[in-house]
């Protein structure tokens, strides 16, 4: 494990490391990923150096809270539930270091917004960071976090478990990026 970063890291780098979790509408999967990732980033002592946000590729739910089932599963597991949906803005590529999509449609949509190839490579599928799945090729369907929107509350619990399994790998990736 890599040691903690120096307290003056933000000044050395010029800005915080920025991560955006992306799904379709920003009310189910990506808000869950944002909250869990922010929690793990803080637990790793990186909270002052890393900003975690989420967005959707579509704008249907902009300004709305997370789906009530996402809020319920997060609250039941001790996570924060405050959220307002946003739509991904291609201008963010100028300041975003890592974008984690929940499924391949999200990844392809966001990569398609990238101004150049250098920016597009910063878009990854979230579960590719799961240590148990890292051996899979990046296009393997097992790496997708399924959209629970049209499913029951239990599906939100499954999504949370998938995300929790992957975010420690994201934290390790961020530590390496910042070293």
Cα dist from 23 to 4, 31, 32, 59, whole Å: 30, 9, 10, 11
Q: In the annotation, is 147 catalytic?
A: yes
- Element (H or E) spanning 18, and its range? strand 17-23
- Residue 31, pLDDT above cutoff 60: yes
pLDDT in tens, 93-130: 999 999 999 999 999 999 999 999 999 999 999 999 99
Strands 17-23 and 98-101 turn out to be parallel
What the block records as the tokens of 55 is 């967005």
Q: Examine the residue annotation and report whether 130 is marked as an active-site residue of this protein.
A: no
- Selecting among 23, 39, 40, 69, the annotated active-site residue is 23
Please give the domain boundaries of the chain with CATH numbers for all domains: 26-178 (3.40.50.2300)
CA distance 113 to 93: 9
The pTM score is: 0.91
Catalytic residue (choose from 67, 103, 130, 147): 147
Burial class (CB in 10 A: 0-12, 13-18, 19+), 121: exposed
Over residues 38-77, the pLDDT tens digits come to 999 999 999 999 999 999 999 999 999 999 999 999 999 9
Return d(Cα 163, Cα 127) in angstroms, integer: 7
**Active-site residue 28, yes or no?**
no
DSSP 164: H
């Amino acid at each position: 494990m890599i040691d903690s970063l120096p307290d003056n890291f933000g000044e050395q780098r010029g800005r915080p490391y920025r991560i955006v979790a992306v799904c379709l509408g920003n009310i189910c999967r990506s808000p869950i990923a944002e909250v869990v990732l922010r929690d793990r980033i803080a637990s790793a002592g990186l909270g002052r150096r890393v900003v975690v946000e989420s967005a959707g590729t579509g704008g249907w739910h902009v300004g709305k809270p997370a789906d009530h089932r996402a809020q319920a599963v997060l609250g039941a597991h001790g996570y924060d539930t405050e959220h307002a949906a946003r739509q991904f803005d291609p201008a963010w590529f100028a300041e975003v270091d890592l974008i984690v999509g929940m499924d391949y449609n999200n990844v392809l949509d966001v990569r398609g917004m990238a101004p150049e190839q250098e920016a597009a490579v910063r878009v990854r599928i979230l579960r590719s960071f799961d240590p148990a799945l890292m051996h899979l090729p990046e296009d393997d369907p097992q790496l997708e976090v399924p959209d629970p929107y049209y499913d029951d509350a239990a599906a939100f619990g499954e999504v949370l478990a998938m995300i929790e399994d992957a975010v420690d790998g994201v934290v390790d990736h961020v530590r390496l990026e910042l070293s």
